[in-house]
Amino acid sequence: MGKIFLIFLLILTAFSLFFAPWVSGAAYFLNSLLQPQYLWHWVFAGIPVFKITAGMAIIGFLSLLAKKDLNWSVLKSKQSICLIIIWVWMHLSHAFTSYPDAPSAVSPELVLSTANSIFIMYFVLLGLCNNEKSLIYFCYIFVIVGLYYIYWSNSAYLSESWHMFRNNRLRGPLGSPYRDENALASLIVVCLPFILLLAFKVRNKMAKAITILAVPLTWHSLILFGSRGGLVATIIVIFGLAYIMKSKMVSLLIFSGFAVFMVYQGAILLDRTTETFSGDRIASEQPINPRIVSWGIALKLIPEYPVFGAGVEKYQAASHNHFPGTTSSVAHNTFFNLSVNTGLLTGLLFLAIIYMSVKRLFWIRAQKLDLNDVAFYSLASSSLSILGFFICSIFLDLIIFEPFYLALVINMVSWDIIQKRSLAQSPIS
């Protein structure tokens, strides 16, 4: 029955290409964020839903191109140009790597192949999301996916499904891009701002209660994942929310709730931190946190390979070559990963993209925040989402983390709508 329903939805999506091409983009968006084939494998078995939805989205993009109905201002934006340069530079780095035959934890070809798909679909979705109707549905997909994984993780705990845990940390769906608990924690962090701001946007009491309840459940999910970085990111996101809403009361209430929550439910993370420091006292020659070692090595490697880097996924080879005996295999940081592997330029462009998105929070604060306005809600949510992602990226390698690029699509489209609206309302001199 589930497979029949899936086929029916795919057929409807195909028909939508004739009158609403953005629906095909939304279908890809939902599939890419949720990764349902790893949740309900018996439904999706034998159906290449990723290729089907991606193919239909590309057809929808080409149909808009043929009709000359694409919004070139977003496709040619500074953000898009930065992403194109990063994309091209990654391939150049792979071609000119100093370690062509060195083994790596993750295949460079796999990373490049995944990056190709992500960057292509970024531009496809940027073209398809060309009005406020498509924009709000893209935002709601973040809400749906976030709420589902918050439910999924808490359900695993309440049902005592201990086989899903490893070293007291809940793992993501096996085989999926979120199989690593830190990746799934980052997804929830990226989705959280869309849920938080929806709580202030909706008037339905049931919907408001669900979105508000999602906050403590999110914290519980992150504790189940053992994600200290994720918890830090949620605090920064809440700071950002209070900042744009100009409300000290909101931040006080949420932080008070967080403090109470951590006192009663934060034992797992506190135990992990205690064990880390205890281990350091027992073996003082070992660092408190291997991330600190990785970051130090990365800072020393960047000047060694400033232009094209050591090569895609060659951090491990470069670190072992320059620092024999080191056990560091990954940078544990997205900026360092890009800068060491593919050159300092890509790392700086990554920071520039983050800056362009997050600085819009300052612009939002200067305005009268109207969350009933689709563009304002989308811009505020996506800017906070990208801020949360950046905090997670300080502790993790998230170069090919597609939810980040999907948040960039929403951020760019909503900003473009607001800019054009301002120009249209300006008096003609």
The CA distances from residue 109 to 91, 123, 138, in Å, are 10, 21, 30
The average pLDDT across 11-35 equals: 95
User: Which pLDDT does position 209 carry in this prediction?
Assistant: 86
Looking at the DSSP assignment, which residues form a beta bridge with residue 165? 170
Q: What is the mean pLDDT of the chain?
A: 89
User: Which pLDDT does position 281 carry in this prediction?
Assistant: 44
Looking at the predicted structure, is the pLDDT value of residue 278 above 50?
Answer: no
The 10s digit of each residue's pLDDT in 359-391 is 999 999 988 878 889 999 999 999 999 999 999
User: Which pLDDT does position 208 carry in this prediction?
Assistant: 85
Q: Which amino acid is at 79?
A: Q
User: Which pLDDT does position 251 carry in this prediction?
Assistant: 67
The 10s digit of each residue's pLDDT in 340-355 is 999 999 999 999 999 9
Residues 417 and 135: beta-carbon distance below 8 Å = yes
The average pLDDT across 74-83 equals: 96
Cα separation, 426 vs 429, whole angstroms:
9
Q: Which two tokens stand for residue 63?
A: 């149909």
HEC-encoded secondary structure of 183-216: HHHHHHHHHHHHHHHHHHHCCCHHHHHHHHHHHH
User: Which pLDDT does position 264 carry in this prediction?
Assistant: 67
Helices (H), 35-131: 41-44, 49-66, 72-75, 78-95, 108-128
Looking at the predicted structure, is the pLDDT value of residue 283 above 50?
Answer: no
Looking at the predicted structure, is the pLDDT value of residue 248 above 80?
Answer: no
Helices (H), 129-265: 132-158, 181-201, 205-225, 228-245, 248-265
Looking at the predicted structure, is the pLDDT value of residue 277 above 60?
Answer: no
Confidence band for 424, pLDDT divided at 50, 70 and 90: confident
